[in-house]
Amino acid sequence: MAATNVELQNALTLESDPGPFVSIFMPLNPKAQNRSEDASQFNSLISEAKREFTKDYSEKAWHPYADKIDLFISSDRVNSDRSASGLALYIGANTLHSFPLRDSVSSFYTISNTIQILPLIKDSQFSVEYDLLLLRRNTFQLFHIKDLIMEEIHLPEDAPTTMGKAVGTDLTGGRQRERSEGMGAGTHFAGRDQRDETKVDDRKHYFGIIDEYIFKNYSNVDHLPLIVAAVTEDQGVFRKQSKNLYLNRDIEITKIPSEHSQINELQEITSEIATDYAKADVAGLKTKYDNAVSSKRYATDLETLMDAAISGQVDTLFVTEGAYLAGKLTDDLHIDTNTPEGKRNNLLNDLAITVAGFGGQVYVLPKDETPARKDEPAVAILRARRTADKEPKD
């Protein structure tokens, strides 16, 4: 997914407020005992930003910013999301927005008439949501994963959570399907005679029950991908007989946490899954860009990029991570490279804001992943061929 999600759109609403904006980024220590360390780092960044701000503006102009920062600190929002690896904070004279970051960032701040959006784009561009099945031979757990949020799904009492509960029963929608046999016979559960089955057959039968249960109660309801984490042999058995249309067959996780899964073990698994998803997305983006080049719907030089961006003609923008072009897009749509603000502003940040504001997709990618050549800080796929533009440079 591109970085046109809710968080990014919320950040872009700040652009309608009067600047200047103070943008602050900092890593967070996930260990609760280090909250004081995070608070100290935050206070240090605020102090540095204040000194820089009052040089260009005034002490009085800082007052509304200080009020919002004090409220932010008093609400302990720096420490509100301990699953986050970083924090993005945008402060204007009239508003303050904060965003948890999935990935750690370097500590820095900027002061400009536009918010520093590129780090937030990089953090949110490959957003994922799926269900994670931790499969063991005798039991299973189910988790819902959405970006930073990892939540165990608490299964109902009649769920086939153990082999002992499930084998010998056929479960539909989490309920036992029963039948009676013979005159005066007791209730029997449809199933195989365990005396005649091997352990392998029991496992296959149990995995089949799990597969059916998850599909009917979760996958076919929420329509989310299902990723399985299991040892190699169990992965093979489950995948071979699974009829779940939402099972992701491209991502295979063969490590399995301890039965009482620890949070750090789960985070390692979800981090690996996020990496796999991102690799697949990058490969798809490269193919998309190659197709755009073939059809002459691309731009690589700055003049064409800016012209396409301000006219809403950019479908997808790729910015090389760490790239910097001094300059600022002015209100009358000129590029300012002469004023102090223009010299310290990253023009690529303004370009990204403009493209996202028109609903375009924006990606910030490392040099070895971007479709741009080494000397190109940004390239774009255009929505339509612009005959008035000059020919894109190769």
Dump pLDDT digits (tens) for 4-45: 456 666 677 666 677 899 999 999 886 656 677 888 899 999
Query: How confident is the model at residue 174, as a pLDDT?
Result: 42
Dump pLDDT digits (tens) for 169-203: 544 444 343 333 333 334 444 444 444 445 678 89
Q: What is the DSSP letter of 172?
A: E
- Name 167's Cβ contacts closer than 8 Å, sequence gap at least 6: 191, 192, 194, 202, 205, 206, 209
Query: How confident is the model at residue 385, as a pLDDT?
Result: 59
The low-confidence residues of the chain, meaning pLDDT below 70, are: 1-10, 13-16, 30-34, 77-83, 148, 168-199, 260-261, 385-394
Rg (CA), the chain: 27
Buried residues in 112-124 as b, exposed as e (16+ CB within 10 A): bbbbbbbbbbbbb
CA distances from 327 to 174, 234, 299, 342, 378 (A): 60, 56, 19, 5, 14
Using left for φ > 0, alpha for ψ between -120 and 50, and beta otherwise, residue 314 falls in beta
Rounded to the nearest 10 degrees, the angle between the axes of helix 35-56 and helix 59-74 is 160
Nearest Cα to 15, choosing from 325, 353, 344? 353
Cα–Cα distance, 301 to 318 (Å, whole number): 13
Sign, CA dihedral 248-249-250-255, equals: positive
Amino acid letter, 117 = I
Q: Where are the domains of the chain?
A: 20-112, 137-255
Is residue 313 within 8 A of residue 380, CB to CB? The reply is no
Is residue 278 within 8 A of residue 284, CB to CB? The reply is no
Nearest Cα to 76, choosing from 104, 36, 45? 36
Query: How confident is the model at residue 7, as a pLDDT?
Result: 63
Query: How confident is the model at residue 288, as a pLDDT?
Result: 96
Query: How confident is the model at residue 324, as a pLDDT?
Result: 94
Nearest Cα to 379, choosing from 359, 390, 394, 357? 394
Cα–Cα distance, 372 to 365 (Å, whole number): 10
Query: How confident is the model at residue 80, as a pLDDT?
Result: 60
Q: What is the DSSP letter of 342?
A: H
Place of tokens 């860009």: 289
Neighbouring CB atoms inside 10 A of 131's CB total 20
The token duo for 324 is 């910097």
Nearest Cα to 189, choosing from 217, 207, 167? 167
Nearest Cα to 44, choosing from 20, 82, 78? 78
Cα–Cα distance, 56 to 154 (Å, whole number): 55
Helix ranges, the chain (H): 6-12, 35-56, 59-74, 118-124, 163-166, 199-214, 220-222, 232-241, 263-294, 302-310, 340-344, 347-357
* Count of alpha carbons within 13 angstroms of residue 66, beta-carbon side: 12
Is residue 23 within 8 A of residue 88, CB to CB? The reply is yes
Does this model's pTM top 0.85? My answer is no
- Name 43's Cβ contacts closer than 8 Å, sequence gap at least 6: none
